[in-house]
Amino acid sequence: MKKAATIEKSAPTDIDSYRGIRHRHAGEPASVLIFEAIGAIPKPGPLEVRVRVACAPIHPGDLHMIRGAVRGGPAPAIPSGGRVPGFEGAGTIEALGERVDHSLGLKLGDRVAFFPAQNGWSEQVIVAADAVVKLPPTMSFVLAAQMLINTITAQVALRAAGAAFPTAQEPRFFILSAAGSAVGRLITTLAHERGMKPLRLVRSKQGAEALRKKLCGSPVIATDEADWKLRLTRAINRRTIHVAIDAVAGDLLKEIMGFVTHGGTIINYASLSTEPTDVQGLAPNELTLRGVSIGVWGRLPPQMRANDQATALRLAQLHREQFDVAGIYEPHEIAEAVLAVEKRGKEGTVMLMFDRSDGANI
């Protein structure tokens, strides 16, 4: 039987209230988000911790949800007092619930990354104790704040892809769109570790050249080049492609369908394109289009989630170059920050910096 932690006092704070970024209705993020007082500092429940947030990333999916866009999933409920976005970040534990499991090894002052959490874009956040990951002393908050969602998304997509391959097929070649994105690079890194062979698609010739330098080892093809489909055909080299992993949808997904064999599977985990997706190619070729979401991750067995957390920490330590930062913004600069997220040609993650007191900007 697991032992529960004894009640610990909260770390002292200089203030008894906190601030966060909130919106009161759906709309364009640059217009509806505001940094303001939220209320009294919350107390963690018995199995929770309270984290003083150092920094938190802004993901494209966060902006879809703020807009209430379909491609962001079901529109989140916005209570009468408004909603604070954000599910991931990093900071310092300031309070522990009275029944936090001793085996987690958590204590006041620990530097941690967290996911999933509600209200992540704020100075204080309440998180389930098993949703935080203790950080090595030398790991910066900026790196740690972005390591969980993207790596776990890559894991979820690869698990779905692995289940779709015929068991006898070796090596496992698959098509990967949005390969230059943060998640795309992590999918490639994990695939290479597992002996899988991604045929990588990116949007531009410039992006292809940059990706080859950053992460070599498998073909990279730019879809803005007139002969990209011929290049992909040559890379496939008469192999049978049973699986594609897609994060774009729209017209590109329609083209990808033509390269997947009869009865194959397309795994979709995002919709970067604003174009509608034509699915008429699915039925004639008996293709399966399977959507996967990180939203299911919290319902996985505890050991599987712990393994995914450990993988995220390992990749962040070994492949720091895969966790680029496109820009760091103060909370009051939220309008500029969200515009930077969707800037064409952006490389890396846009970060919100709530506290610089503990090496967060390293």
* Burial call 122-136: b when 16+ CB within 10 Å, e when fewer: bbbbbbbbbbbbbbe
Residue 208 lies in a domain: yes
Average pLDDT estimate for 72-77: 76
Tokens of 73: 């999933």
Where residue 171 falls among pLDDT bands split at 50, 70, 90? confident
Are residue 157 and residue 288 in the same domain, yes or no? Answer: yes
Are residue 238 and residue 174 in the same domain, yes or no? Answer: yes
Average pLDDT estimate for 268-288: 91
- CATH of residue 287: 3.40.50.720
Are residue 270 and residue 162 in the same domain, yes or no? Answer: yes
Contact 192, 218 (CB under 8 A): yes
Residue 361 lies in a domain: no
Q: Residue 116 pLDDT more than 80?
A: yes
- CATH of residue 95: 3.90.180.10
**Residue where a domain stops, chosen among 277, 295, 313:** 295
- Position 1 scores a pLDDT of 36
Q: Residue 314 pLDDT more than 80?
A: yes
Residue 87 lies in a domain: yes
Are residue 251 and residue 280 in the same domain, yes or no? Answer: yes
Residue 332 lies in a domain: yes
- Give 293-302 pLDDT, tens digit per residue: 998 898 899 9
Are residue 191 and residue 209 in the same domain, yes or no? Answer: yes
Contact 171, 203 (CB under 8 A): no
Contact 265, 288 (CB under 8 A): yes
Q: How far apart are CA 174 and CA 199, in angstroms?
A: 6
CA atoms within 13 A on the CB side of 47: 7
Where residue 5 falls among pLDDT bands split at 50, 70, 90? very low
Are residue 103 and residue 39 in the same domain, yes or no? Answer: yes
Q: How far apart are CA 359 and CA 23, in angstroms?
A: 29
**Residue where a domain stops, chosen among 295, 315, 343:** 295
Q: Residue 3 pLDDT more than 60?
A: no
Q: Residue 344 pLDDT more than 90?
A: no
Question: Domain containing 229: what range?
Answer: 150-295
**Could you tell me which residue, 30 or 280, shows the higher pLDDT?**
30
Average pLDDT estimate for 187-208: 95
Residue 34 lies in a domain: yes
